[in-house]
Amino acid sequence: MSTAFTFQGVQRVFGSKQVLRGINLEVPEGQFVAIIGKSGCGKSTLLRLLAGLDQPDGGRITRGEAARGAAGTRIMFQEPRLLPWARVTENVAVGLTGIAQGAAANARAADYLAEVGLADRGSEWPSVLSGGQRQRVALARALVGQPAILALDEPLGALDALTRIEMQQLLERIWREKGFTAVLVTHDVAEAVILADRVILLEEGHVALDLTIDLPRPRRHGSPEVAAYEQEILDRLLGRNAA
Amino acid sequence: MTAVTTETDTKTKGRGAPFRFLAPRGLIGWVLPLIIVLLWEALSRTGVITENVLPAPSEVLAAGWQLLLSGELVHNIAISTQRALIGFVIGGGFGFAFGLANGLWSRSRDVTDTTLQMIRNVPHLALIPLVILWFGIGEEAKIFLVALGVFFPIYVNTLLGIQGIDPQLTEMGRIYGMSPSRLFWRVILPGALPAIFTGLRYALGIMWLTLIVAETIAANSGLGYMAMQAREFMQIDVVVLSILIYALLGKLADSLARLAESLSLQWHPAFQRKDA
């Protein structure tokens, strides 16, 4: 299987604070990777580097053939960042800037809206949608350009518990359908175990744990196997503090 | 600021349900002026208000009819409106252009903003003596003053609108590969529009104020001139008529601005009809 992207000794420094201290990471195409860690461990910085929003101070980031170019990697944020003055379909079509326009763009946008279960909301303003629906529009916008890599910066963090589980199922279904590489930054260990093939634990700018989650999908919240993985990661996350 | 006002309107409407039988929402605002005019008429007829203090509304109306027949009223309104609009287009155009330039380019702001803020703090009506020396009492004097008065509300609010745009949205636009011009039309201008409209409505108020003062002091035609002439000949009914016309024209301008605002800001929660 070919590689989606590789981090080789990647470093990032803000002022006197070294946020990333030599990250090495190789992710094959189509893998779902979750990155977890405490606040300030550098996980969002890593994601911004991956999305090309920031440049490393040392080391190299290489992307596979498919993920090169502007539309090869998309990022989705904790806030939906929709344009309040554009209808829902137009907001999704923003994801096709420089790829398609006019009727063709609207048709593709409508397809992806249907994909996220909002087929009949295309002509609404974002302000009338709920938080979960807005985030689904943002997901459609991120995917409509068919990126090879989707970077997700805690996109479900602001949602209530039930909407969150629905969104996790939606995300998993679309990921399996489209086959893109997903990199999810989250502080929710359960979410990481439910969704990811592989969980990376960042600690003080290092990869502290690289764990493959070998469980059949779809996984259920609260099943014993999921709980066991959760426990293992939590022990590792909190263990050092307890000692 | 505008958004807040409109939101309150919607709320008042909900609470004011008992009054709804009186008139549809748009008309209810005219009930109070009507009551005031009727009361005024009654007080004039019973002699509580003497004629040389304030003539009855019916007399003002009669004076208006006379002026309308002679063509004088239409002529003066037309000339004042023309001055107002020319001044507004010039001042508003420059204000908008400087607001955009200073909102988009910090270099432009660094160079011009200090100067503009100093000029802003000079009451523009204080320039009337100077303006009369420059232009006499010709058209340029009035247009210049209106343009100067209108410039600042448009400039300040356009600048504020652009500076107030959510940086997360502009970052989003860049991530999705929007070119600078596309970013401007899709993100920056629509985002600044609510503030620009606030400036527009404020500017319309200043536009009338400036014009009336300027016409009262230095003109030989227009509504302000008509009022001053009437004062010379002790035609108090015409003076009162002029004042009422200012009120109506001001209201008309504001209503047009609000209409344009609600048409172009349909996306804004404050302009969405919740009962629709």
- Relative to beta strand A206-212, strand A198-203 is antiparallel
- Give the per-residue pLDDT at B8: 40
* Contact between chains at B190 and A71 (C-beta distance less than 8 A): no
Q: Does residue B40 belong to any structural domain of this protein?
A: no
The domain tally of chain B equals 1
Domain at B213, CATH number:
1.10.3720.10
Mean pLDDT value across residues B108-129: 90
* Among B177, B187, B268, beta carbon nearest to A83: B187
Does position A181 have pLDDT exceeding 50, yes or no? yes
Class of domain A3-72+147-242: alpha beta
Interface of A with B in 194-223 (CB under 8 A): none
Beta carbons within 8 Å of B45's beta carbon, 6+ residues apart: B56
Query: Which pLDDT does position B10 carry in this prediction?
Result: 42
Distance from CA of B192 to the nearest CA of A (A): 11
Q: Which residue from B244, B158, B165, B246 is spatially nearest to B202, judged by alpha carbons? A: B158
**Residue A77 and residue A153 in contact, taking contact as beta carbons nearer than 8 Å:** yes
- Helix locations, B56-178, DSSP H: 57-70, 72-104, 106-120, 128-135, 139-163, 167-175
- Give all strands of the β-sheet with A3-14 in edge-to-edge order: A17-28, A3-14, A58-63
Q: What is the pLDDT of residue B25?
A: 66
Q: Say which of A70, A79, A127 has its CB closest to residue B177.
A: A70
Rounded Cα distance, B73 and B226, in Å = 8
* Contact across the interface for B267 and A94, Cβ inside 8 Å: no
Q: Where do the domains of chain A lie? A: 3-72+147-242, 82-146
pLDDT at position A41 is 83
End-to-end Cα distance, chain A: 40
Task: Give A53's contacts in chain B (Cβ within 8 Å).
Answer: 171, 175
Nearest to B269 among A81, A83, A127 (CB): A127
Paired with A153 in beta bridges are A185
Q: B190 and A128 in contact by Cβ < 8 A?
A: no
* Residue from A64, A61, A42, A40 nearest A52 by CA: A61
B193-225 exposure pattern, b = at least 16 Cβ within 10 A, e = fewer: bbbbbbbbbbbbbbbbebbbbbbbbbbebbbbb
- Contact with chain B for residue A69, Cβ under 8 A: no
Chain A interface mutation, best of B169, B176, B268, B275, highest count of A Cβ atoms under 10 Å: B176
Q: How far is CA B179 from the centre of its chain?
A: 35
Selected residue of A85, A130, A143 to mutate for chain B interface (largest B Cβ count, 10 A)? A85
What pLDDT, on the 0 to 100 scale, is given for residue B12? Answer: 41
Residues of A whose CB is below 8 A from B269:
127
> Residues with Cβ < 8 Å from B276, sequence gap 6 or more?
none
List of residues 6+ apart from A44 with CB closer than 8 A: A153, A154, A185
Average pLDDT (A186-206) is 92
At A47 the three-state DSSP class reads helix
The model's confidence at residue A1, banded by pLDDT at 50, 70 and 90, is low
> B272 and A128: CB-CB below 8 Å?
yes
Q: What is the pLDDT of residue A66?
A: 75
Residue A82: the pLDDT is 96
- The SS3 call for residue A89 is helix
Find the closest chain A residue to B190 by CA distance. Answer: A85
Tokens at residue A29, please? 């195409």
Predicted confidence (pLDDT) at residue A36 exceeds the cutoff of 90 = yes
> Cβ of A75 under 8 Å from any chain B Cβ?
yes
Determine, yes or no, domain membership for B189. yes
Domain-located, residue B43:
no
Residue A42 tokens, joined: 């550098």
Contact A83 B186 (CB under 8 A): yes
The answer to whether the Cβ–Cβ distance between A84 and B267 falls below 8 Å is yes
Share of chain B above pLDDT 90, in %: 42
**CA-based nearest residue in chain A for residue B188:** A83
Kindly give the pairing relationship between strand A32-36 and strand A181-185.
Answer: parallel
For residues A162 and A168, is the Cβ–Cβ distance under 8 A? no
* Yes or no, beta carbons of A97 and B176 under 8 Å apart: yes
Report whether pLDDT(B247) > 80.
Answer: yes
* Contact residues, chain B to chain A, C-beta under 8 Å: 168-169, 171-173, 175-178, 182, 186-187, 190-191, 193, 265-269, 272
**Residue B79: how many other CB atoms lie within 10 Å:** 19
Question: Chain B contacts of A141, Cβ < 8 Å?
Answer: 176
Length of chain B as a residue count: 276
Cα separation, A4 vs A27, in Å, equals 6
- B-chain CB neighbours of A98 within 8 Å are 177
Q: Determine, yes or no, domain membership for B48.
A: no
pLDDT band of B276, cuts 50, 70, 90: very low
Read off the pLDDT of residues A158-176 as tens digits, 9 standing for 90 and up: 889 899 999 999 999 999 9
Domain holding B141, by residue range, is 57-267
B191 vs A contacts (CB less than 8 Å): 85
At B98 the pLDDT is: 96
Instruction: Please compute the mean of the pLDDT values over residues B123-133 and round it to a whole number.
Output: 89
Q: Which one-letter amino acid corresponds to residue A172?
A: E
